[in-house]
């Protein structure tokens, strides 16, 4: 036996396409699946089969939603529709919501501009964002993209496209993470913290 049985190899091939899962982890996972009771495997298979039917994207902001409707946030009456926070992925909305500080709505871009990977403005959800801004009640667009090169380029692109007399465009502050030690901060972060320093 120089390789695994076909059914296991095929499962490993699928699993190793998942983020953070290499060949060795995929093998470990597939071997452990063999020890699951059949009904548990069937439930997981059923969940995967129905996943995209049950979990859909909000037609308004592209956040995760259920059964084709708008998402919880767009459906909520208590959110300020005058402020839109632009994020990359739906997963980041959960993190921002945990702070309980933001009461506006969101717009999920579905990525960042990355010309080298062939990802131009067409690959992002910009049309729906343009429509939402054209509707006229939005006064602020908060850009909450990661502060790497692609994130900053995307932020500049958005500012260039949507900045107007009625729409203010802001980005989240850069600086030292809360509770962090300057000894472990990289110089770019320290530079950002210096230039963005605030009066006590």
Q: Which residues bind a copy of itself (CB under 8 A)?
A: 1-8, 10-11, 14, 18-21, 25, 27-34, 38, 40-52, 54-55, 63-66, 71-73, 89-91, 93-94, 97-98
Q: Which is nearer to a copy of itself, 41 or 191 (CB)?
A: 41
Q: Alpha-carbon distance 12 to 4, whole Å?
A: 10
Of 90 and 175, which has the nearer Cβ to a copy of itself?
90
Q: What is the dihedral of CA 158, 162, 166, 169, to 10 degrees?
A: 0
Q: Which is nearer to a copy of itself, 51 or 134 (CB)?
A: 51
Of 106 and 162, CB closest to a copy of itself: 106
* CB closer to a copy of itself, 85 vs 162: 85
Query: Of 192, 153, 154, 149, which Cα lies nearest the Cα of 174?
Result: 192
> Would you state the structure tokens that stand for residue 51, as one six-digit string?
């996943």
Query: What tokens appear for 57 in the block?
Result: 């994207």
Distances (CA, A) of 161 to 102, 122, 154: 24, 14, 10
Q: How far is the CB of 111 from a copy of itself (least distance, A)?
A: 10
Q: How far apart are CA 80 and CA 142, in angstroms?
A: 13
65 or 129: whose CB is closer to a copy of itself?
65
Q: Which residue has the tokens 């997981």?
A: 44
Q: At its nearest, how many Å lie between a copy of itself and the CB of residue 79?
A: 11
d(CA 6, CA 14): 12
What is the closest distance, in whole angstroms, from the C-beta atom of residue 37 to a copy of itself in the complex? 9
Element spanning 192, H or E: helix 187-195
In the complex, the smallest distance separating the C-beta of residue 53 from a copy of itself, rounded to whole angstroms, is: 8
CB of 91 to a copy of itself, least distance (A): 5
């Amino acid at each position: 036996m120089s390789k695994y049985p076909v059914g296991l190899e095929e499962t490993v091939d699928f699993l190793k396409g998942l983020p953070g899962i290499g060949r060795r982890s995929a093998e470990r996972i597939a071997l452990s699946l063999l020890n699951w009771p059949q009904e548990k495997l069937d439930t997981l298979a059923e969940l995967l089969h129905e996943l995209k039917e049950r979990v859909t994207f909000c037609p308004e902001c592209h956040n995760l939603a259920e059964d084709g409707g708008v998402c919880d946030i767009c459906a909520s009456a208590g959110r300020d529709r005058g402020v839109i926070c632009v994020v990359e992925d739906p997963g980041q909305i959960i993190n921002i919501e945990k702070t309980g500080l933001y009461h506006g709505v969101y717009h999920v871009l579905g990525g960042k501009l990355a010309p080298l990977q062939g990802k131009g403005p067409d690959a992002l959800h910009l049309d729906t964002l343009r429509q939402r801004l054209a509707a006229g009640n939005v006064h602020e667009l908060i850009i909450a993209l990661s502060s790497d090169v692609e994130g900053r380029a995307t932020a500049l692109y958005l500012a260039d496209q949507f900045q107007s007399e009625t729409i203010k465009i802001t980005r989240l502050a850069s600086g030292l993470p809360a509770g962090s030690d300057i000894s472990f901060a990289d110089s770019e972060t320290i530079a950002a913290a210096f230039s963005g320093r605030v009066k006590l």
